[in-house]
A and B are shown apart, each in its own frame.
Chain A
């Protein structure tokens, strides 16, 4: 493995265009070890593209991407990824446990059946997303929110150093959503977490930094401000993004989110 580095993700001078359209432009982004980052931005702003570039699933048009100090193709196995849109075949014959176990590929033995250890790990991860009782159920029979939780468990089963989650809680009930974020916060003591979210008000209670993606990428620390106005809009105490003048210089676009 590579020598100990201080950052999980290091992006420099990155551009990405697709069919002649510039999706991401002049992106410099560092995500430190044990950072907890929320990626926000409008639809089509490039959030998912950014995650896929970090994973090496998409190749940047120009610029460099380092994942744990190495090329993403070398270090992608250290990431637990949860995709956003499930273009899955929902008639697929797999149980909840079958899907969770897929996270063990790459960690476990190269062929043959999964070990008892793999199953124990997956059972534990399913417990963490409150689905341990339905491990024998057909994945196809679950609700959208339950499927999302299975995918979170699958990402956790990778035992990753970086958890990369694309809208992990968009279908979850509020109660479960809070529990999931508390789980992330707990995990964040040892691993780095990057997640895409639409609900900035909710996630900023938990995350340390917010990355705004709208073709360009700007990073902000989260700072708590409470006020009647905010409460009126979001109906709950929350953190807001403080746009440091310094950070925003030259883009000025993040206020439009």
Chain B
């Protein structure tokens, strides 16, 4: 801990990492709450894994055309949004085979990424970074991207809060009130996709679902309104990511994994605590 604070002053990469933790928490807290109450974390998981396909494609492209040098985050963002729309349309229209198609997208997206990265000349260590997070490698440009995603996601999610709340609660009624339920649902998935991209920089593709959903799941144990859950889970997300970064620094363990372990343990403790509090079976 003290070593972290000393180094924080002198190393820009630590400052960037800390900023990434705080910035990504806003989008994550807001969208994660929607994902948890709408019960679509499985869809979010599928979206996050297909991202590898986009990242792999960009890395390959950059290696073949070295003058291009596209930020892999853009590849990730584009893939995530396309995957979100496909998965959304599947879950709206292909009720019978929804889970099969979504799991298939999950694997096919990853397979695409692995093939591209294997065929990318040079060093393939980036793969591990994208899968498990490389927060210490976050650049200034990444921070800008995360910041813009934050503003975009937070603005839409908060302006249409009432509409999203009504749709998550009762789609049929919302559609009778004249809301285009499908459009809202798809845009919720697209915002989830963009949030996942921000989180991938912090904890990586494989672990970002836990960071997206656990803070909101903890908050929902103690709160009965969605905006409070958003507030609490944003706060929790900041705490989890920064403590993961700080605690992993001196013993030199991966910060992404540390963050997820902290989140998971806190969730377990929260469930037990909630149970003791109500002295009865959980809802």
Q: Place the interface of chain B in its size category.
A: 20 to 34
Min CB distance B5 to A, Å, is 37
Can you show 28 pairs from A to B with CB atoms below 8 A apart? Answer: A55-B176, A57-B172, A57-B176, A77-B177, A81-B173, A83-B170, A88-B169, A92-B37, A93-B225, A94-B165, A95-B225, A98-B226, A101-B162, A102-B165, A102-B169, A102-B170, A103-B177, A105-B174, A105-B179, A106-B177, A106-B178, A112-B159, A113-B162, A137-B224, A138-B224, A139-B224, A154-B173, A158-B177
Does any Cβ of B come within 8 Å of A21's Cβ?
no
Q: Once the chains bind, are B177 and A93 in contact (CB under 8 Å)?
A: no
Q: CB-CB < 8 A to A93: which residues of B?
A: 37, 220, 223-226, 228-229
Interface assignment of B262: CB less than 8 Å from any CB of chain A:
no
Asked if residues A102 and B166 are in contact (CB atoms below 8 Å), the reply is yes
Please indicate the chain A residues that have their CB under 8 angstroms from the CB of B19 in the complex. Answer: none
Shortest Cβ distance from residue B228 to the other chain A in the assembled complex, whole angstroms: 8
Knowing A92-B168, A95-B224, the reply to whether A111 touches B160 (Cβ < 8 A) is: yes
| Residue A172 at the chain B interface, CB threshold 8 Å | no
Q: Given A89-B37, A93-B37, A105-B178, do A98 and B225 touch, yes or no (CB 8 Å)?
A: yes
Which among A89, A94, A103 is the interface contact of B39 at CB below 8 angstroms?
A89
Return the CB mask of A56-71 against B: 1 if under 8 Å, else 0.
0100000000000000
* Complex contact A102–B224 (CB within 8 A): no
Kindly identify, within residues 140 to 181 of chain B, every residue whose CB is under 8 Å from any CB belonging to chain A. 159-163, 165-166, 168-170, 172-179
Taking CB atoms, residues of chain B closer than 8 Å to A43 are none
Say if the beta carbon of B283 comes within 8 Å of chain A: yes
Task: Tell me which of A91, A94, A102, A106 contacts B226 (CB under 8 A).
Answer: A94
What 0/1 readout, one digit per residue, does chain A (88-128) give for beta carbons within 8 Å of chain B?
Answer: 11111111001101110110000111100000000000000
How many chain A residues touch B (CB < 8 A): the figure is 33
**A130 contacts chain B at the CB level, 8 A cutoff:** no
**Which residues of chain A come closer than 8 Å to B162, judged between CB atoms?**
101-102, 105, 111, 113-114
Q: List the interface of chain A (C-beta within 8 A of B).
A: 55, 57, 76-77, 79, 81, 83, 88-95, 98-99, 101-103, 105-106, 111-114, 137-141, 154, 158
Query: With A55-B176, A92-B37, A92-B169 known to touch, is A105 a contact of B220 (CB < 8 Å)?
Result: no
Taken together as a complex, chains A and B put the C-alpha atoms of A79 and B175 apart, in Å, by 12
What are the nearest 7 A-B pairs in CB distance?
A138-B224, A106-B177, A105-B177, A106-B178, A102-B166, A111-B159, A77-B178
Identify the closest chain B residue to A90 (Cβ).
B283
State whether A99 and B159 are in contact (beta carbons under 8 Å apart), knowing that A57-B176, A81-B176 are contacts in the complex: no
| Bound-complex Cα distance A55 to B224 (A) | 31
* A116 to B: closest C-beta gap in Å: 14
A-contact 0/1 string along B188-213, CB 8 Å cutoff: 00000000000000000000000000
CA distance A158 to B224 in the complex (A): 24
- CB of A91 within 8 A of CB of B283, answer yes
Provide the bound-state CA to CA distance between A15 and B186, in Å. Answer: 33
The complex places the Cα of A184 from the Cα of B39 at a distance, in Å, of: 36
- Which residues of the other chain, A, contact B173 by a CB distance below 8 angstroms? 81, 83, 102, 154
Contact of A102 among B174, B220, B223, B283 (CB under 8 A): B174
Chain B minimum-CB-distance residue to A137:
B224
Q: Which of A79, A88, A101, A114 contacts B170 (CB 8 A)?
A: A88
Chain B positions 40-58 with a Cβ under 8 Å from a chain A Cβ: none
CA distance A95 to B169 in the complex (A): 12
Docked CA distance A141–B163 (Å): 23
Within 8 A of A (CB), among B4-39: 37, 39
Residues of B within 8 A of A105 (CB): 162-163, 166, 174, 177-179
Q: In the complex, how many angstroms separate the beta carbon of A86 from the nearest chain B beta carbon?
A: 8
In this complex, the member of A95, A102, A137 whose beta carbon has the largest number of chain B beta carbons within 10 angstroms is A102
- What is the bound-complex CA distance between A55 and B176, given in angstroms? 8
CB-defined contacts of A89 to chain B, threshold 8 Å: 37, 39, 169
